[in-house]
Amino acid sequence: MKKIILITFLLFTPITPLLAQQDKFITDFIERLENSRKYLNLVAEMMPEEHYNYKVTEESLSFSENLMHIGFALDWHSQSLLGDREPRVYQTDTVFKSADKTKVEMMARINQTFIEAIALMEQFNADNLDDELDYFGINRSKRQIFMLLADHITHHRGQMLVSMRLKGITPPRYVLYQ
């Protein structure tokens, strides 16, 4: 009788909630991050490599520096603040520096960083969203780190779009929910 009850339970109970009880906020964020990855890839692909070093002003980041800065911040926030890896140091990191990298190498690095961040977030324990950490001297929840990450990507991608327009290139059409 116990076997019949167990089999009936397993047959008629959705598996997904049993295997991965994911928070709606996290699943929505992952969807947004995946859409952002696709859109950023389009932006990076459309800019000719000869314009990757273009700066809107002397003190601005170049197109390639904005691209790689997005990658560094995505890696740092996801893997170090939300995950448990030792943080990279921006001043000494070479993985996310644009110098001596081709357009193809930069795009591959960014794409891989998004894939790694999404994989980490798929495993993120929703019970930890309200855990607080020191974020440059201010207490912030991990939920706030998720939101800050989305803002940061949008901010630097927006600068990349301006660079494209100033070079006479029409950016790809905006994609909703990213």
69 carries a ligand binding annotation:
yes
Contact between 132 and 145 under an 8 Å Cβ cutoff? The reply is no
Annotation-wise, does 77 bind a ligand? no
Q: 111, exposed or middle or buried, with CB in 10 Å at 0-12, 13-18, 19+?
A: middle
Q: DSSP state, 103?
A: H
- State the amino acid at position 141 in one-letter form: S
74, with CB counted inside 10 A (0-12, 13-18, 19+), is buried
The dihedral through the CA atoms of 101, 102, 103, 108 has a sign that is negative
CB-based contact 47:169 (threshold 8 Å): yes
Q: Label residue 18 exposed, middle or buried (CB < 10 Å: 0-12, 13-18, 19+).
A: exposed
The annotation status of 152 as a binding-site residue, yes or no, is yes
Token duo for residue 54? 């273009």
Which residues define the annotated binding site for a divalent metal cation? 69, 152, 156
Residues annotated within the binding site are 69, 152, 156
